[in-house]
Amino acid sequence: MASIKRDDRLTVSQCLVCGAVAGVFSRTVTSPLDVVKVLGQVGTFHTRNGFWNTFRQVYRSEGVAAYWKGNLIACMRLFPYSVVQLASYKRILHLYMDDRGYITQWGAIVAGSLAGIVATLITYPADVIETRLIIQNKKSPSYKGIMDALRSICKNEGFLTLYRGASLTLIGAIPFSCGAFLVYMNLDKLWGEPSFKFGPFQNFISGCLAAGFAQTLSFPFDTIKRKMQAQSLILPHYGGVNVHFSGMVDCFRQVIKIKGILCLWDGLTANLLKIVPYYGLMFSTFEFCKRVCLYKNGFIVSPLSYQLAPGVDQSLRPQELRELRKYFHNRSFKSEQSSLKSRWIS
């Protein structure tokens, strides 16, 4: 059984800001791996000779800045994605809770997957634009930027192009959820102790293992989605896609027929290598931002550690602590005024 834990010492806005900063930082640092992953999935000319050669080919043909193609729109997408996911997760979670407010691991995974689907579908156009910006040549771009890509796609290909491949998000959520569930169900065997005794390091490694296994199972659907997002009659070389197709099912058929079934996992190496640094940076950045907010709220003595402020009730909310401090400050001020007045009279 798992329960929901939230640090009430932070305000909702502080939680969102911490998450946004952590997401932007980790996404920006690992952007080169994400670019290589997407190029591998689409099957552009950069990826013909393997993972490491893709890095060299991108650098030779487009320069260092090419490793951050599409990073801006990806970072801009993080905030609305997180807000929608959090709101959806809380609503869906209550459907799986029992009367005591507890939820099974399977229920938590399903709730998380459904919330991710809702957030992905709402922010899906940004994902399509990100793919288009990544596959274009930075030295001779088809799009001048995010807004130009949006206008061009809507004008030349139609608004529904922004949702091309969206159905694969729903289909891919099934193997992803099953994969995550299988890992979490066997974590106690891996560590030799029940999950409620896990420390921070064990939880981090467990999360990375679950993400890696789940993403590997659902990766073929993500690959087809990227190919569908990238293919366009108005782009050079049809968007760089290594097969031509007329729809989702035909895309699966053509990839397996022409390139082989293993090509459905092209780009997986970059994706797996991204997991540990991405989640590690996200976790450490979030924790630092959280400490800064807790220090600002008056719950800890320094943003560099979690040493609790002496005499502060850690069960209070930020607003309650501020009001309490204001009350004692006013009370102390009135006491000093009364003392000064009595001395003056005497």
CB 43 within 8 Å of CB 227? yes
C-alpha 132, offset from chain centre: 20
Q: What is the pLDDT of residue 331?
A: 67
Q: What does pLDDT average to over the chain?
A: 87
3-state helix, strand, coil in the chain (%, to 5): 75, 0, 25
Q: What is the pTM of this model?
A: 0.85
Task: Give the three-class secondary structure for 103.
Answer: strand
- Of 252 and 317, more confident: 252
pLDDT tens per residue, range 46-102:
898 889 999 999 999 999 999 999 999 999 998 898 889 888 888 888 887 877 777
pLDDT tens per residue, range 255-280:
999 999 999 999 999 999 999 999 99
pLDDT tens per residue, range 289-312:
999 999 888 888 888 888 888 888
Q: What is the pLDDT of residue 6?
A: 63
Q: What is the pLDDT of residue 2?
A: 39
All structural domains of the chain with their residue ranges: 2-297
Q: What is the pLDDT of residue 4?
A: 40
Distance, in Å, from the CA atom of 38 to the CA atom of 131, rounded to the nearest integer, reads 7
What is the per-residue burial (b if ≥16 Cβ within 10 Å, else e) of 70-81? bbbbbbbbbbeb
The CATH code belonging to domain 2-297 is 1.50.40.10
Q: What is the pLDDT of residue 3?
A: 38
Q: What is the pLDDT of residue 95?
A: 82
pLDDT tens per residue, range 172-226:
988 988 888 888 888 878 888 876 677 778 888 888 999 999 999 999 999 999 9
